[in-house]
Amino acid sequence: MKPAPFVHHAPRSVEEAVSVLAQVGHDGKILAGGQSLIPVLNMRLASPAHLVDINRVTGIDQVEVGDDAVRVGALVRHAELEYHEGAYAALPLLRQALVNVAHPAIRNRGTTVGSIAHADAAGEMPAILALTGGVVEATGPRGAREIAAVDFFQGPLETSLAEDELAVAVRFPRFAPGTATAFAESARRHGDYALAGVAAAVTVRDGVITDARSSFVSVTDVPSVLDLTDVVGGSEPGTADWAAAAEAVRAHVEPEADIHATADYRRMLAGELARRVLCQAAENAATTKGSSDR
Amino acid sequence: MTDMTTEQVHDVTVNVNGVPRTATVPARRLLSDFLRHDLELTGTHVGCEHGVCGACTVLLDGKPMRSCLMFAVTAQDHRITTVEGLCDAPDARPCATGERMNPAQQAFAECHGLQCGFCTPGFLTTVTAYLEENPSPSQEEAREAISGNLCRCTGYQNIVKSVLRAAEIRTERLEENAGESA
């Protein structure tokens, strides 16, 4: 068998899961969809002694669309969120990004919250949590707390969740009226990890850009948001200096080289993808007058 | 710490191809190995074992998933369809060799949608589920639908043809079924 031996725990409630986590401490890992964890176990890059399998925990499998945010429970599979019409209407960016998460067979099993808790900067959903200024809801032996995206992602594959805390949900705040979004990435094969990916949110009011931001996949250490309002704010979408925005993106990202692409190529790609998605989001914001948001 | 000699085992019961099957396995038994070694259903093939190639794709409650990225204990009480179970689908028909085939199996046979055939079980389960979602895909959509499955013989031309042909066969059979029940 490929994975090393472990003890399987199957709690039925959040309280029970947290209590097991408190007992097993640093030797435990949470198993939800497992689409990132199980490859790591199969390759024995990790061999936790305990797996806390939350698949039978009740009450954490809902998508809730509120006036302010879309709240996604820890057992919501990527595919469920992708096909959720209410979530799409409230925050089109979710589906725009989710169709790029691996392949349908992976999205049927993997969870959005798990992907965020895994905190891989090559993952799409951490970048989306960052761009929306989202929040992770965590529960542990010391009670429940909320962690803002900016405080959540600490380093590559590292979050501010304590060993004995469970991420029970994330909230993706909805954008202000007049905002439109776009997402694009480039991968060697559709569904593979992106060489570079960019998400953009642009707000247009009275014909001019009032806010422009983007976040990135695979080209930064941790998911981060670049505010481009200083660069293109006050301009009309059709005449904004998107080349300057792309230049700001190239200066912001810090890609690494690997067997598939050099750092320079990824930097160039991030700039070009940013130019495209920012431009597209701005045009959509101008033409739909924000109807895609609220 | 876990001791190798006293590794915990679990009685796992899964409904496979319509039949409840039970085996006693360690928690670390992958669903792919559970199907192949414990239940002796060797139709599900194991390729990369980290979710990239798609050879091990089975249907869990009707949806395609990687059996190498699930543990058997997690599949407890769920409904699994492997490639062996596709011939029991309502739209399966006896073919020239006397075996029953579902539309995807029939189309892959007709169009020679395989070279060495190792990847075929994953393609068949993936395509079977996909056609439920999109009954008449374009060529481009067919390519997209199989992008999560790798054929190392690079036989994609015939596999794409097979997906399109499977859609035709499926539609014909659905119409026949509707005619019979009318």
Chain A contact set for B126 (CB, 8 A): 105
Answer yes or no: do B68 and A105 touch at CB < 8 A. no
User: What ipTM was reported for this prediction?
Assistant: 0.94
Structure tokens given for A252: 């912001």
Chain B contact set for A27 (CB, 8 A): 1
Answer yes or no: do B26 and A34 touch at CB < 8 A. no
Dump pLDDT digits (tens) for B45-62.
Answer: 999 999 999 999 999 999
Partner residue opposite A3 with nearest CB, options B28, B54, B60: B28
Residue-averaged pLDDT of chain B: 94
pLDDT above 60 (res B3): no
Give the dihedral of Cα atoms B101, B104, B106, B109; nearest 10 deg.
Answer: -120
Dump pLDDT digits (tens) for B104-147.
Answer: 999 999 999 999 999 999 999 999 999 999 999 999 999 999 99
| DSSP assigned state of A194 | P
Answer yes or no: do B30 and A189 touch at CB < 8 A. no
Dump pLDDT digits (tens) for A157-186.
Answer: 999 999 999 999 999 999 999 999 999 999
Structure tokens given for B57: 């794709």
Answer yes or no: do B30 and A39 touch at CB < 8 A. no
- For chain B, say whether A187 makes contact (Cβ under 8 Å): no
| Integer angstrom CA distances of residue B15 from A20, A186, B22, B59, B63 | 29, 40, 9, 11, 14
Nearest residue on chain B to A99, alpha-carbon basis: B144
pLDDT of residue A289: 55
pLDDT of residue B57: 98
Partner residue opposite B147 with nearest CB, options A2, A103, A108: A103
The dihedral sign for the CA sequence B126, B64, B144, B56: negative
Mean pLDDT of A16-21: 96
Answer yes or no: do A105 and B1 touch at CB < 8 A. no
pLDDT of residue A294: 40
CB under 8 Å to A145, separation ≥6 — which residues?
A137, A138
User: Which three-class secondary structure state does DSSP give residue B29?
Assistant: coil
